[in-house]
A and B are shown apart, each in its own frame.
Chain A
Amino acid sequence: MTAVAERAPAPAYLRHDKPLWRRVLLRTDTALLVVLIAVILWATVSVPFFAQPFTYSTVLLAMAPILLMVPPVTLIVVTGEIDLSVGSVLGVSSAIFGLLVQHGLPLALAAIVSVLAGSLIGALNGLLVTVLGVPSLAVTIGTLALFRGVAVGLLGTTAITSFPGDAATWLRANIGNLAVPRIILVVVVVAVLFGVVLHATTAGRGIFAIGLSSETALFSGVAVNRTKLLLFVASGTVAALTGVLFTLLYSNAIGTNGIGLELQVVTAIVLGGVSIWGGRGTLFGAIVGALLIGVLSKALQLLNVGSDVIGVITGGALILSVVVASVAGFVSRRRRTAAVVQPSGGP
Chain B
Amino acid sequence: MTVTRTPEPALSPAQVSARPSLLETVLRAREITLVVLILLLVAVTTARHHDFLFSSDGWRELLRQPAILILIGVGEAMVIITRNIDVSVGSILGLTTYFAGWLFHNVAGIPIVVVVACAVLMGALLGLFNGVLVAFLNVPSLVITLGTLYAYRGIAVLWIGGDFIRSSWLPANFKHLGTAAVFSIPVLLLAVLVVVLLVGWFMTSRRSGRDLYAVGSNPEAAVLYGLRTRPVVLLTFVASGALAGLAGIVYLAIYATGDSHVGSGYELQAVAAAVVGGVAIVGGSGTIWGVALGAFFLATISSALPVLGIPSLWQQAVVGIFIVLAITLDRVLAIRRTRAAIAQRRLG
A and B physically associate: yes
Residues of A at the B interface (CB closer than 8 Å) are 80-82, 128-129, 132-139, 141-150, 152-153, 156-157, 255, 263, 266-267, 270, 276-277, 308-316, 318-319, 322-323, 326-327
A318 CB to closest chain B CB (Å) equals 4
Sample (13) of A-B pairs whose CB atoms are under 8 Å apart: A135-B4, A137-B3, A145-B323, A146-B320, A149-B314, A149-B319, A267-B147, A311-B150, A311-B153, A312-B158, A313-B154, A315-B147, A315-B151
A145–B140 alpha-carbon span in the complex (Å): 22
- The B contact surface, by secondary structure, is helix
| Chain A residues whose CB sits within 8 angstroms of the CB of B4 once the complex forms | 133, 135
A314–B151 alpha-carbon span in the complex (Å): 7
Q: Contact size class for B?
A: 35 or more
Judged by a CB distance under 8 angstroms, whether B327 is at the interface is yes
Chain B residue with minimal CB distance to A270?
A: B143
| Chain B residues whose CB sits within 8 angstroms of the CB of A138 once the complex forms | 275, 281, 327
Judged by a CB distance under 8 angstroms, whether B324 is at the interface is yes
B157 lies within 8 A of A311 (CB): yes
A208–B72 alpha-carbon span in the complex (Å): 37
A153–B306 alpha-carbon span in the complex (Å): 13
A148–B320 alpha-carbon span in the complex (Å): 9
The answer to whether residues A142 and B316 also contact, given A276-B140, A276-B142, A318-B150 and a CB cut-off of 8 A, is: no
The answer to whether residues A132 and B139 also contact, given A137-B1, A153-B313, A312-B150 and a CB cut-off of 8 A, is: no
A149–B143 alpha-carbon span in the complex (Å): 24
B143 lies within 8 A of A318 (CB): yes
| Chain A residues whose CB sits within 8 angstroms of the CB of B3 once the complex forms | 135, 137
Contact with A along B131-144 (1 / 0, CB 8 A): 00100011110111
A146 lies within 8 A of B324 (CB): yes
| Chain A residues whose CB sits within 8 angstroms of the CB of B142 once the complex forms | 82, 137, 276
A147 lies within 8 A of B320 (CB): yes
B151 lies within 8 A of A319 (CB): yes
B313 lies within 8 A of A144 (CB): no
A322–B138 alpha-carbon span in the complex (Å): 10
B2 lies within 8 A of A132 (CB): no
Q: Which of B2, B151, B332 contacts A81 (CB 8 A)?
A: B2
Instruction: Please provide the 4 A-B residue pairs with the shortest distance between their CB atoms, ordered closest to farther.
Output: A146-B320, A149-B317, A311-B154, A315-B150
A313 CB to closest chain B CB (Å) equals 8
B321 lies within 8 A of A146 (CB): yes
Judged by a CB distance under 8 angstroms, whether B271 is at the interface is yes
B319 lies within 8 A of A145 (CB): yes
A88 CB to closest chain B CB (Å) equals 9
Q: Which of A135, A308, A323 contacts B139 (CB 8 A)?
A: A323
Q: Which of B2, B161, B321 contacts A135 (CB 8 A)?
A: B2
Judged by a CB distance under 8 angstroms, whether B342 is at the interface is no
| Chain B residues whose CB sits within 8 angstroms of the CB of A277 once the complex forms | 1, 140
A319 lies within 8 A of B324 (CB): no
B149 lies within 8 A of A263 (CB): yes
The answer to whether residues A322 and B150 also contact, given A137-B85, A153-B311, A270-B143 and a CB cut-off of 8 A, is: no
A252 CB to closest chain B CB (Å) equals 18
A220–B142 alpha-carbon span in the complex (Å): 30
- Name 14 extra pairs, CB < 8 A, besides A267-B147, A277-B1: A82-B2, A132-B331, A137-B142, A141-B323, A144-B320, A145-B320, A146-B321, A149-B315, A149-B320, A309-B158, A311-B151, A312-B155, A315-B146, A326-B138
Judged by a CB distance under 8 angstroms, whether B45 is at the interface is no
A149 lies within 8 A of B323 (CB): no
| Chain B residues whose CB sits within 8 angstroms of the CB of A128 once the complex forms | 324, 327-328
A139 lies within 8 A of B327 (CB): yes
Chain B residue with minimal CB distance to A128?
A: B328
The answer to whether residues A153 and B157 also contact, given A128-B328, A315-B147 and a CB cut-off of 8 A, is: no
Contact with A along B250-278 (1 / 0, CB 8 A): 00000000000000000010011001000
| Chain B residues whose CB sits within 8 angstroms of the CB of A134 once the complex forms | 281, 327-328, 331
A152–B311 alpha-carbon span in the complex (Å): 11
B314 CB to closest chain A CB (Å) equals 4
Judged by a CB distance under 8 angstroms, whether B103 is at the interface is no
Judged by a CB distance under 8 angstroms, whether B282 is at the interface is yes
Contact with A along B28-64 (1 / 0, CB 8 A): 0000000000000000000000000000000000000
Chain A residue with minimal CB distance to B325?
A: A142
A112 CB to closest chain B CB (Å) equals 24
| Chain A residues whose CB sits within 8 angstroms of the CB of B331 once the complex forms | 132-134
Judged by a CB distance under 8 angstroms, whether B21 is at the interface is no
Chain B residue with minimal CB distance to A312?
A: B154
B6 lies within 8 A of A150 (CB): no
A144–B158 alpha-carbon span in the complex (Å): 28
Judged by a CB distance under 8 angstroms, whether B318 is at the interface is yes
| Chain A residues whose CB sits within 8 angstroms of the CB of B335 once the complex forms | 132-133
Chain B residue with minimal CB distance to A316?
A: B151
Judged by a CB distance under 8 angstroms, whether B148 is at the interface is yes
| Chain A residues whose CB sits within 8 angstroms of the CB of B152 once the complex forms | 315
Q: Which of A80, A142, A150, A157 contacts B327 (CB 8 A)?
A: A142
A318 lies within 8 A of B157 (CB): no
- Identify which of residues 150-169 in chain B touch chain A, using a CB-to-CB cut-off of 8 Å: 150-155, 157-158, 161
A303 CB to closest chain B CB (Å) equals 14
A314 lies within 8 A of B6 (CB): no
| Chain A residues whose CB sits within 8 angstroms of the CB of B319 once the complex forms | 145, 149
- Identify which of residues 272-311 in chain B touch chain A, using a CB-to-CB cut-off of 8 Å: 272, 275, 281-282, 311
